[in-house]
Structure 1
Amino acid sequence: MNMMQALFYLMGCVTLASALTVAFSKNLVRSIFMFFITLFGLAGLYVLALADFVAVTQIVIYVGGILVLILFAFMLSGKEALAAAQEQTNRFINLKNLPSVLLALLFLIVLINVIFKADVANLQWIKEANGVKNVIDVNESMINNIGINLMTRYLLPFEAISILLMLALVGAAHLSRKEDMRG
């Protein structure tokens, strides 16, 4: 086993263990921070797969954006709602959850079936693309082109989306802190 395989298995185990902790932990704070580790572990797996751009995008969008939004939602939640969420003692598999568990198992069976029956090396469209040399070689100019287009041609939509997300965050904060006007 070489060093890359060892790093892959280490990163995979850390990512899987932290994801399972997120799914099964009753403590919301621990779940949020383990989700942070899960997202960084996925970014590390992308780096090992030589998908640097996807790894950076994973960190910027999910760790930098989504996880911060989750942290804000947690911090802006009322104490009563957090206490009620932590005191739930529902079992994972009960009669109310049976349809969703059966659906998840069905999807797992389909996914495993697709993985074992897929023969990626012998797909017809891949053979045809290789035969006529219709394959795009990865080079540095592709990633540079994405960055240049994002900061020049698509700057206005990029900034509009960021303002929209900021307004959604401010609105969520306002709704969560609104006092009861009847009392």
Structure 2
Amino acid sequence: MNLAQVLFYLMAFIATASAVFVAATKNLVRSIFMFFITLFALAGLYVLALADFVAITQIVIYVGGILVLILFAFMLSGKETLNTIGELRSKFISINKLPALLLAGLFLVVLLNMIFKLDADNLGWVKKAQVTHNMILPNSSMTENIGINLMTKYLLPFEAISVLLMVALVGAAHLSRKGRSA
């Protein structure tokens, strides 16, 4: 087992364990900070997968933007709102959550079926890409290609996403202010 595999398993364990903690804990503050750790572990997994641009984007957008937005909404919400949310939480597994648990179980079965039955080296599109040399190698300038594509070919979707994030920011601010004045 080489260093890359050890780092992968370590990051995967950290991401999985912190995500389970986020879902299972009743304390919202601890949940938010463990979500912070989950997002950083995912960024580490992206780095190990040679997706450096996606890792930086993960940190900038999710950790730097979305998580800070969640923290601000949490800090601006009143004590009554937080107490109401705390009272709504019940057992981790209950009859009310049965449809969600069934759906999660179905997704787990599909995922495990795909992992064990899929032979990724013999997929048609992978073989075709290898024959035609239509591959991105780790030493090529991936970030530069992504930046050029974002500012030319994909400029409209890139701007649409920025507008969507702005709407989410305004909506979160409105919800936190509305909860405060109520």
Match of 2:114 in 1: 114
Give the Å deviation of 1:169. 2.4
TM-score by length of 1: 0.81
Letter in 2 for 1:98: L
Deviation of the 1:168 alpha carbon: 4.3
How well do the aligned residues superpose, as a CA RMSD in angstroms?
A: 2.6
CA 1:113–1:162 in 2, change beyond 3 Å: closer, same or farther? closer
CA contact 2:69–2:172 (8 Å) conserved in 1: no
Matching residue of 1:137: 136
1:74-113 to structure 2, matched below 5 A, reads 74-113=74-113
- What are the ranges of 5 or more consecutive residues in structure 1 without an aligned counterpart? none
Relative to structure 1, the CA distance from residue 129 to residue 173 in structure 2 (aligned partners, 3 Å threshold; closer, same or farther) is: closer
Bigger RCO of structures 1 and 2 (CA < 8 A, at least 6 apart): 2
Instruction: Give TM-score, length-normalised by structure 2.
Output: 0.82
Contact 2:150 2:158 (C-alpha < 8 Å) held by counterparts: yes
d(CA) in 2 for partners of 1:54, 1:115: 23
Higher helix proportion, which one? 2
| One-letter amino acid matched to 1:48 | L
From the superposition, tell whether residues 110 and 170 of structure 1 become closer, same or farther in structure 2 (CA, over 3 Å): closer
Amino acid at match of 2:61: I
Q: How many residues align?
A: 179
Instruction: Give distance in 2, aligned partners of 1:157 and 1:104.
Output: 31
- Structure 2, unmatched stretches of 5+, are none
Kindly name which structure, 1 or 2, has the bigger radius of gyration based on alpha carbons: 1
Provide the residue aligned with 1:4 in structure 2: 4
1:16-165 equivalent positions in 2, closer than 5 A: 16-131=16-131, 133-138=132-137, 139-150=139-150, 162=162, 165=165
**Aligned counterparts of 1:89 and 1:161: Cα–Cα separation in 2:** 32
